[in-house]
Amino acid sequence: MLIANYYSNTDIRVEDRPVPQINEGECLIKILASGICGSDLMEWYRRDSVPLVLGHETAGDIIKVGKGVNHLKIGDRVVVSHHVPCLECRYCQRGHETMCKTLHSTTYDPGGFSQYVRLPEINTRLGVFPIPKNVTYEEASFAEPLACVLRGQNRAGIQKGDAVVVIGSGISGVLHIALAKARGAEFIIACDINETRLPWAAKFGADVTIKDASSISGELLDNIGRKADIVILTTGHPDAVQAGFDAAADGSTILLFAPSDPNTTVQIDINKLFFKHDRTVTTTYANSPNDLKEALSLIAEKKVPVADMITHRIALDEIQYGFDLVQNGLESLKVIVEPNRNGTN
């Protein structure tokens, strides 16, 4: 089979590798759609692990099942989760499944940017989700990123009538905008220093789009007479974080949805936060099985129109071009890799 082996953002090599052999309790998936995630391009996060096969936003068909696998069958259309929690530890029992040690130790073999993937026993048991009949493989590949967004908004507590600010309007920001709109947000401002992204933000629900984050507060006051109930940061740049805090109303929630580069720090006045603002500052990472199920339902019900977010569909041998598109951020919103396009195996 063919795989895309990642060495760096500018060095991704399509190579041959044997199709993985499955064992008892496992299954083999033919990957038909795999989205490129912004996190796939975090070189500083990957450099100690290369080469590796990335890709975790995957959908495909089950083509083999191991002995003892009774809940799945050959031909099932599925979304497969690369990280799964144990659902039994203290973290899982308290609703913090993404802090589960099992979740951080599980993955599939070799990765979504390959023609076939072997799912280990625990992933086969807890991380396979049927694709609804009215959902395409491409749409289903959005289940993982949408599940992360859903988890973040559940933590932030977005309600009908809220004023929401989304800083960073790449695909994560656009998914946040679309979901906030579906949840009844009254007013949404989207901000990004890359102006080419702002039309996408407007298309999927932003009422106002701006490039200059320092003007968010003024736009809120001019349009609705108050600051934001919810601020979502899909970038960890210190200037963006500061602008997010400035745009947040008293009693609001600020969701940090992205990491910062290493050694980056942001100063927060704890006394002001404590005495004057009564704000909640929270983070979320990854998603849980229940988040994934709910995300698939949202996609099936067309409440979040993910199909319209796809700008590029590429074959596996074009993956370097796909990474270049995502990195420059000028032409693409969502790039979907189709590892088995053109009838390859």
Say whether both 173 and 115 belong to one domain: no
Residues 266 and 230 both lie in one domain: yes
CATH number assigned to the domain comprising residue 112? 3.90.180.10
Residue partners of 24: CB distance under 8 A and separation at least 6:
66, 67, 68, 121
Give the contacts of 133 (CB within 8 A, at least 6 positions apart): none
9 and 94 assigned to the same domain? yes
Same domain, 197 and 250: yes
Question: 110 and 36 share a domain?
Answer: yes
Mean pLDDT of 182-207: 98
The separation between CA 79 and the C-alpha centre of its own chain, rounded to angstroms, equals: 14
Residues 277 and 196 in one domain: yes
CA dihedral 23, 24, 30, 31 (to 10 degrees): -90
Pair 119, 6 in one domain = yes
Beta-bridge mates of residue 58: 34, 80
Note the pTM of the prediction, 2 decimals: 0.97
- Is residue 17 domain-resident? yes
In sequence order, the β-bridge partners of residue 228 are 248
Q: Check which CATH number belongs to the domain holding 267 and give it.
A: 3.40.50.720
Residue 345 has pLDDT above 50, yes or no: no
- Does residue 104 fall inside a structural domain? yes
The answer to whether residues 131 and 177 belong to one domain is no
Does some domain include residue 293?
no
- The total number of structural domains that make up the chain: 2
Asked whether residue 290 is domain-assigned, the answer is no
Tell me: do 194 and 79 sit in the same domain: no
pLDDT category of residue 210 using cuts at 50, 70 and 90:
very high
Let me know whether 219 and 313 are in one domain: no
What DSSP character marks residue 99?
A: G
- Of 54, 45, 63, 27, the residue nearest 323 (C-alpha): 54
Residues 161 and 138 in one domain: no
* CA dist., res. 59 & res. 143, Å (int): 9
8-state DSSP, 229: E
| Residue 236 belongs to domain spanning | 155-283
The reported pLDDT for the residue numbered 72 is 98
Please check whether residues 117 and 211 belong to one and the same domain. no
343 pLDDT band, cuts 50/70/90, is very low
Question: Is 238 inside any structural domain?
Answer: yes
Looking up tokens 């996408």, which residue turns up? 200
Angle (nearest 5°) at CA 186 between 139 and 158: 65
The residue to which tokens 């749409």 are assigned = 139
pLDDT in tens, 7-39: 999 999 999 999 999 999 999 999 999 999 999
Arithmetic mean of pLDDT, 244-266 = 94
